[in-house]
Amino acid sequence: MTGIVDGLLDLALPRRCVLCGAAGGWLCERCAAELHPLPVQHCPRCGAPGPWSAPGQKHRAGRRCPECGGRDLAFRSAAAAFTYEGPAKALITACKFRALRSLADDMVGRASPAFAAAPAVDLVTWVPGHRDHQMERGFNQAELLGRGFARRAGVPYAPLLRRVRHGARQSGLDRAGRAANVRDAFALREEGNGVLRKLKRVMIVDDVYTTGETLDHCAGVLAHAGIEPHVFTFARTVRATPSQASLDHAVQKERCP
């Protein structure tokens, strides 16, 4: 009920910044300036910030990505527009839990440059929404983002995936719990096989990359069908690890004479 009420208010009332409450738009200029784009230097496989090498490539000691090293990921690459903090987190939270559908258009506009820089694909799809969440909100935010990015990029889009099992909410679960929660939860839609025969590369869109488990399982379905999957999210959780901090220090020392 709260989501429905907020959705109606979304249409009727003036927009206010989701972070500070200032009138005028979903994100005021001051708060928008605090959006942190994902660093240019990142893992080419999972998108984690840092001077990491892609799995399988030769790398100097300590340069193995701590996020995807040792993981057999189904997607070929992962990219995101912003780090999941501050304004980016506020936008995603408001879209999800306040049912502010029009927020998706604002998010698409802000993240489209990063989407354009991601690998070129033949088609855009998205993580299918959880049945209960869609009933609460009236929409799937991943679908709104995927359609928006595709339209701006001039790329076809289609719903290729469906949920065959509805687990618990992913929030609050650790990586192992998230993996178990989405295992065997996705499959191709009935019409998906016909569409995939004409494709080579597909981009899977979601709002946020946390551990990558949901996106990895979605990508696995497409990879099994012979498609090269890539993923893109509006934001990405960034973890500060001792290995990353030490590597940043090492890189700084290399740059200094």
pLDDT per position as a tens digit, 97-133? 887 888 999 999 999 999 999 999 999 999 998 766 6
Region 63-74: mean pLDDT is 85
Confidence (pLDDT) at 132: 62
**Cβ-count burial of 159 within 10 angstroms (0-12 exposed, 13-18 middle, 19+ buried)?**
middle
Q: pTM above 0.85?
A: no
Give percent of the chain above pLDDT 70: 74
For residue 117, give both structure tokens.
């820089």
Note whether 228 and 200 are within 8 A (CB).
yes
pLDDT per position as a tens digit, 144-180? 999 999 999 999 999 999 998 765 554 555 555 555 5
Instruction: Give the DSSP H or E segment for 206.
Output: strand 201-209
Note whether 108 and 145 are within 8 A (CB).
yes
Mean pLDDT computed over every residue of the chain:
82
Residue with tokens 């088609």: 123
Region 33-53: mean pLDDT is 88
Range in 57-66, 109-118, 129-138 the model is least confident about: 57-66
Which of 245, 178, 188 has the alpha carbon at shortest distance from 209? 178
Any idea what DSSP says for residue 226?
T
Residue with tokens 């959780």: 237
Give the C-alpha distances (Å, rounded to integers) separating 116 from 28, 48, 153, 159, 257.
24, 19, 7, 20, 36
